[in-house]
Amino acid sequence: MSIPASKVKELRDKTNAGMMDCKEALQAAHGDFEKAIEYLRKKGLSAATKRSSRAAKEGTVASYIHMDGKIGILVEINCETDFVAKTENFRTMARDVAMQIAATNPKYVKPEEIPEKELEREKEIYRSQAQQEGKPEKIMDRIIEGKLKKYYEEVCLLDQKFIKNGDITVRDLVNSMIANSGENIIVRRFARFQLGEEL
């Protein structure tokens, strides 16, 4: 099946995936845009999973200053080689992640970092709300799970919708960089400073 170059470019702009990957995805999806995006996500995810065990000790510390010096961000993002760390794509992604932190103020990089105590407190609040609404006990766990997912999207950087493209999460953005670079990439840590905030 022949795929027009304009459609390949459109998919690339939307997903940040490589041109050849986009063409392959559109061919596999018989031109269906949504299926092609799903195809790319699955491919990126499986590539990311394979690479996640490899050591990532190179990378960059990106900074971003917002609102005339009122908000400042530092974020450490690691990859496997200095070569990838110096590429324009890697640096752009690192800056985009720093901008994301400035805009959305996450507390953690990923759900695994949330202290058990905090998680239990959230679950207790959701359980109490559901009981007050008269929800049956048998669906309580499902309700709590759904609310926790929303909570992760608020407080965990990787689970947030990417501010430049609401169709993907920050995790998808990192996974597409993993797929494109062929290296393991990790958002290690970040610090967000806001002028005048309570210490």
Closest CA to 174 of 66, 57, 54, 79: 79
Give residue 54's pLDDT: 63
Domain span at residue 43? 5-51
Give residue 47's pLDDT: 52
Give residue 51's pLDDT: 54
Q: Is residue 199 part of a domain?
A: no
- Please list the ranges in the chain whose pLDDT falls under 70: 1, 15-17, 44-55, 199
Contact between 15 and 164 (Cβ < 8 Å): no
Q: What is the pTM of this model?
A: 0.71
Where residue 25 sits, what CATH number does that domain have?
1.10.8.10
Q: Are residues 163 and 183 in the same domain?
A: yes
Q: Are residues 103 and 160 in the same domain?
A: yes
Q: Are residues 62 and 45 in the same domain?
A: no
Q: Are residues 9 and 82 in the same domain?
A: no
Distance of CA 20 to the CA centre of its chain: 23
